[in-house]
Amino acid sequence: MLRYLAKRGITYVFMIFLTTSAGYFLAVSSLKPALLEQERIPRPTPEQVASSMRLKGLDPDLSPWERYVEWLTAIVTRWDWGRSPNGAFINAEFGDRVWISTRLFLASIILTLVIGVALGVYSAARQYKFQDRVITSYSYLAYIVPAPIAYFLVQLGAISVNETVGERIFFVTGISTPGTAPGWAQFVDMLAHYAVPTIAITLVGWGSYQIAQRQYLLDNVNADFVRTARAKGLTRNQAISRHALRVSFIPVAQSIAFTIPAIFAGGFFAEKIFAWPGVGSWSIDAISLQDVNAATATLAYGSVIFALGAILADFATTLVDPRVRVQ
């Protein structure tokens, strides 16, 4: 197992290095922070801009290769991912951003998985009955509706609740109200901020898991081994829940394992709409602000998350499927 992990790890480190380097070259040759500086009022002279950039390690006069070598050396020797054009240190900003994304997505992704899989099983057991049709239709709808629109709708709903009650129960944007007294009041404030984004992301998210779990289970409901289980003396429902479910969970487990690390990577739409400045919105902002180092850092982070997901997916498969062996 450890050998497998080491082998996989080396492969992924190599892949991450390649994608990140390619990303850096792309960013450094297309993003020009110096141009953005010149739109300031009062307008700085090109020399001023260049020197300010040079101070932050973003010298526009160096060739992309020279800047790449400099950037890479800093990471390898000092674990320093550089600075943004506004002078902020990537390393410092990064931790905050990841923590915000994680807080935003943790609860909702867990809810999404649990509800999605449970409803998938429920609807498969009642194939083509009323409940199945309602649930599955909803899932397809959630699949089709673009996430931002669904988020807005949930926000509108929360606002109307607030208006009906005549009191501000839910906060539709933001992380917390500044200046809330610590203790109980702070906890209530946190819940009020959490509720809307969590509900919105969960409502949109579970559909795909429900559809997948339902489909995989239905593929196995009439399998030969379920018939064998029934021939042993299990009722149809017992045979399905003891035999078909476990087999149908194998592909679902794989996709779940892929999703878990995504909690830490955040999502652009949700972060923007609910005004939680996490990793997702940072990566988009970095591009619009011509921030080479931040854009590359978020890309590298995405690659790491992906690699972790892939390794986790392998583990999940070995865990639930005895036919797969790790070598």
Q: Which amino acid is at 5?
A: L
Q: Which of 218, 234, 287, 289 binds other proteins (CB under 8 A)?
A: 234
Distance of CA 185 to CAs 103, 179, 188, Å? 19, 11, 5
321 binds other proteins (CB under 8 A): yes
Q: Does 247 bind other proteins (CB under 8 A)?
A: yes
The stretch near other proteins (CB under 8 A) out of 152-160, 287-295, 308-316, 317-325 is 317-325
Q: Which is nearer to other proteins, 69 or 319 (by Cβ)?
A: 319
Structure tokens at 196: 């809307």
Sole window of 97-105, 219-227, 261-269, 284-292 interacting with other proteins (rule: CB under 8 A): 219-227
Cβ atoms within 10 Å of 139's Cβ, excluding its own: 22
Site string for other proteins, 10-49 (x = CB under 8 A): -x--------------------------------------
Output the six-digit token pair for 260. Answer: 């878990």
Q: Which residue number, 77 or 327, has a Cβ lying nearer to other proteins?
A: 327
* Residue 316 in contact with other proteins, rule: CB under 8 A: no
> Does residue 253 belong to the site contacting other proteins (CB under 8 A)?
no
- The reply on whether position 246 binds other proteins by CB under 8 A is yes
Backbone angles phi, psi at 89, to 5 degrees: -85, 130
Total interface residues for other proteins by CB under 8 A: 25
The reply to whether 236 sits near other proteins by the rule CB under 8 A is: yes
- Asked if residue 147 binds other proteins (CB under 8 A), the reply is no
Answer whether 268's CB lies under 8 Å from 101's CB.
no
Select from 1, 144, 181, 231 the one that contacts other proteins (CB under 8 A).
231
Q: DSSP labels for 172-183?
A: SS-S--TTPPTT
Locate all alpha helices (DSSP H) within the chain, ordered by sequence. Answer: 2-30, 33-37, 46-55, 64-78, 90-125, 130-144, 147-165, 184-221, 224-232, 236-239, 245-259, 262-265, 268-273, 279-288, 292-320
For the bound state, the minimum distance from the C-beta of residue 304 to other proteins, rounded and expressed in Å, comes to: 21
Angle at which helices 292-320 and 90-125 pack, to 10 degrees?
Answer: 40
Binding to other proteins by residue 323, rule CB under 8 A?
yes
Q: Are 86 and 244 in contact (CB under 8 A)?
A: no
Contact flag: residue 129 with other proteins (CB under 8 A) = no
- Of 179 and 322, the one with the shorter C-beta distance to other proteins is 322
Cα end-to-end span (Å), the chain = 7
122 alpha-carbon distance from chain centroid = 27
Contact residues for other proteins (CB under 8 A)?
7, 11, 223-225, 227-236, 242-243, 246-247, 250, 320-323, 327
